[in-house]
A and B are shown apart, each in its own frame.
Chain A
């Protein structure tokens, strides 16, 4: 019998998810033997037409990474959805928006206005890229750039999620194995334990039961202790509001969590959940005292929603005009 067809595709991403696949090293050979990689632009002769030619559902599973930033990406994943039996949102960007999702603090106009007018940009005429450019020889086209970054499941139906920036090898192999063996969890499952990072954190044992937060600290002010809970040190660590399974890579490097695995199933909004947990423990019983501690949190969106802005309840910074797009 023929091997199941597998597709890999990327959208607004960095290539790190592909690196993660390559980092499977020897393991990838076993994968390659087990499946027929039908489509992998980074790797194979890219023929969109070939995918278009495929029958619906011909692809067993598509691993799609990256957030949705352009119209082209939206069209492409819509087609892939049609051609695939399963779609796996691969990595933080596809799962919850990822770092590119931070762009939802701004929009197309804001981004163009900055990127094409930076100190180093020589652009007196204020030229911006256009979806259509007429030149002497004809017309050049570019895909449309969206105002808002979307997660994959905000554009198409997603079956499973592989979280992480980038997803760790063991989770990837676990997912691939599950698919090959047909041992699939319920649709919509995030393929990583549904518990917070603290459950695996080496610093949990030493964490005191009660940590009244008198003041918050920044890594610019202190050198993090290598064995104390970061919150105990006043440093923001998103661990409590973040799903585990990452292997505590950042913690092991003595850096606090920034939430790339997204929240657990029961939580709609990772940032709000963290605010609830953190601020409830402020050592403050007056508005003034609470404000004093809050003051230190200069960039709540950048810290609490560093990876999850597009998947948050509000999804993006609200623009000062009535209505959305």
Chain B
């Protein structure tokens, strides 16, 4: 090693020097080849100390420096900066931790002296093998990915767009708007939901900053705040979106029908369909799982019916790769599968409905165009709404979703509006009516209903065509019963969590960074969460949280700001790598890819965080952990074992 090495001993104002034989230590250091200068200072981290160090480095034109002092944890940066200022590569520094891990932990002066010597010699031997490294920084990407296009997703996207950011809004369904777009009215204002949300939908769909990707799913995510690489799978709609007018000629002619989940299964849809009347964007998709043509049969009825020749059976799925700086997860929630609560007999006794079904019966864009009728077509005369169906129940949902009660009040009003003479009963434990408008809204509503209080136990049974409800040792019969379950995370939350490497809470909602201080950040820097994906909440809270996430990310992702990336990364020597692939699965940051051309592995230095695990596992020594190379570690081993 032909470096000019300088060794600087920090007395740490006698905290160190009192506890060992300084001269002995320094004498040893002086004997080592390559050490051209050895000096002590009372306190190297002090302003004078720094000045001293800088001058010494210049004066003795050192190109590698050992600082024997406190822990590198405290002052490695400090001294690296000094090297840099004096024109020496900052990585030409090696600190010998002779304070915390030597004199302070070793009462015996002689032992401390010997150990300090070993550490200093190891540092000298190591620094002789150091290489100059260049710190790298990348410009952070200000663009945003929003996953889920319910009210929360749309609100977030809108905010980013307002700030002029490019937004990718990804929705797995054919249409945007989530649940809200499918209900008639919202509490407490009883405002028309479609009227309320449609403008938001249209705005987003037409926003030049926002690329709406419906019928699409996330395939792969890599990276960190400021630099995420995301692969998005665009499922084939089998429709030419430019040519399609949304005239609706195609679906009536489709010979296939299945229950439509967007109507809670109350009505059927065809293989080619739009989820519900007025869904946006107004473009049908072909469900290839049930389409005859994709079952190998020769059917082209929809294509024949299309005036614009917009049906494209040959359309293929496409994976697009986008780079964004931040991500918002707004995948929403859904209602608990109430059929799991056996004693309520949902799906077994005709006339028992769940919230969504009721909403759709009420909705004028629903299957009955707003008429509340039973399967036989008659309007129900006597209706019961059962609150907390499955909620606050250890066997089902232990928690209270906090929005069902008020929503039920809304249903009461909708029902009374549709069937004024209907007899309406509410079965509840106690009402949860949060918010400044909640109580008033409930009080006003309850005048319209006959309420039964019950204590926990409730079940239903079939009694000749009617539904009997048994509670509090009393029974009563109804034409229609509405069960209102609580809110759970959307079914694919788990998959999303894995893709984005996020933590979930006990109930499967995305875990917030802090349950009080920061509910809009996920467990991963740069990924925000909004809406029911984080916890059950109403529209108002969802919107607020969405706006919050936007604020956080906009603050973090300032265009032009540089993000420093790890310097001590691992690199794979192309000449040496044999392509055994043993390293690839080891990287916690998926930073290693296999180059099919060259048949070797490559490290993406932007993603690499420098843990060196792959280097430790590389059987041909091709993977080299910068600043922690074998050679450098062995240099230390050699001295500390002397």
Contacts and interface: CB of A to CB of B under 8 A. Distances in A.
Contact of B580 (A198, A263, A265, A266): A198
B620 A281 contact: no
A276 B576 contact: no
Contacts of A38: none
A241 B581 contact: no
A264 B624 CA distance: 14
A240 B618 CA distance: 9
Contacts of A197: 578
Nearest to A244: B578
Contacts of A215: none
A320 interface: no
Interface in A268-295: 268, 273-274, 276-278, 280-281
A190 to B, nearest CB: 13
B92 to A, nearest CB: 23
Contact of A196 (B580, B586, B616, B617): B580
Interface string B59-89: 0000000000000000000000000000000
A211 interface: yes
Contact of B578 (A195, A210, A276): A195
Contacts of B618: 273, 276-277
A274 B620 CA distance: 9
Contacts of A263: 619-621
Question: Which has the most chain B C-beta neighbours within 10 Å: A196, A264, A268?
Answer: A196
Given A240-B619, A267-B620, A277 B584 contact: no
Given A207-B581, A266-B621, A273-B620, A280 B576 contact: no
Contact of A267 (B583, B594, B613, B619): B619
Contacts of B620: 195-196, 240-241, 263-264, 266-267, 273
A199 B599 contact: yes
A66 to B, nearest CB: 27
Interface in B616-631: 616-622, 630
Interface string B492-534: 0000000000000000000000000000000000000000000
B575 interface: yes
A273 B580 CA distance: 13
A137 interface: no
A204 interface: yes
Nearest to B622: A266
B562 interface: no
Contacts of B617: 276-277, 280-281
B585 interface: yes
Interface in B582-632: 582-586, 594, 599-600, 613, 616-622, 630
A209 B578 contact: no
A265 B613 contact: no
B622 to A, nearest CB: 7
Interface in B568-584: 575-584
Contacts of A198: 578-581
A267 B599 CA distance: 21
A302 interface: no
B129 to A, nearest CB: 14
A239 B621 contact: no
Interface string A186-221: 000000001111110000100111111000000000
Given A212-B585, A266-B621, A280 B578 contact: no
B621 A267 contact: yes
Contacts of A276: 616-619
Contacts of B621: 263-267, 273
A243 to B, nearest CB: 8
Interface string A247-267: 000000000000000011111
A194 B622 CA distance: 10
Given A276-B617, A276-B619, A281 B582 contact: yes
A233 B621 CA distance: 24
Given A196-B619, A276-B619, A209 B582 contact: no
A199 to B, nearest CB: 4
Contact of B619 (A211, A241, A265): A241
A251 B581 CA distance: 18
A281 B576 CA distance: 21
Contacts of B619: 196, 240-241, 263, 267, 273-274, 276-277
Contacts of B586: 280-281
Contact of B576 (A194, A273, A274): A194
A4 to B, nearest CB: 32
A210 B575 CA distance: 22
Nearest to A265: B621
Contacts of A209: 581, 584-585, 594
Interface in B386-445: none
B414 to A, nearest CB: 53
B305 to A, nearest CB: 46
A20 B576 CA distance: 28
Question: Which has the most chain B C-beta neighbours within 10 Å: A208, A209, A266?
Answer: A266
Given A264-B576, A276-B619, A210 B584 contact: yes
Contacts of A240: 578, 580, 582, 619-620
A265 B573 CA distance: 13
Interface string B211-255: 000000000000000000000000000000000000000000000
A195 B577 contact: yes
Interface in B455-484: none
A244 B620 CA distance: 11
A89 B392 CA distance: 79
Contacts of B578: 195-199, 240, 244, 264
B595 to A, nearest CB: 11
B623 to A, nearest CB: 10
Question: Which has the most chain A C-beta neighbours within 10 Å: B584, B616, B617, B630?
Answer: B617
Given A196-B619, A240-B619, A265-B621, A280 B580 contact: no
B582 to A, nearest CB: 4
A112 to B, nearest CB: 35
A263 B613 CA distance: 20
Contacts of A278: 582
Interface in B139-195: none
Contacts of A210: 581, 584-585
Contacts of B585: 209-212, 281
B592 to A, nearest CB: 9
A295 B616 CA distance: 22
Contacts of B581: 198, 204, 207-211
Contact of A280 (B579, B594, B599, B613): B613
Contacts of B583: 277
A81 to B, nearest CB: 28
A274 B600 CA distance: 18
B244 to A, nearest CB: 40
A212 B582 CA distance: 10
Contacts of A207: 581
A240 to B, nearest CB: 4
A280 B616 contact: yes
Contacts of A281: 582, 585-586, 617
Nearest to B594: A209
Nearest to A198: B580
A280 B584 CA distance: 11
Contacts of B613: 280
Nearest to B629: A266
A22 B576 CA distance: 33
A142 B142 CA distance: 81
A109 B594 CA distance: 51
14 contacts: A194-B575, A194-B576, A195-B576, A196-B620, A198-B581, A241-B620, A264-B622, A265-B621, A267-B619, A267-B620, A268-B630, A280-B582, A281-B586, A281-B617
Given A199-B577, A266-B621, 4 more contacts: A273-B618, A276-B618, A280-B616, A281-B585
Please name the 3 residue pairs, one residue from A and one from B, whose CB atoms are nearest each other, closest first.
A266-B621, A196-B578, A210-B585
Interface of A: 194-199, 204, 207-212, 239-241, 244, 263-268, 273-274, 276-278, 280-281
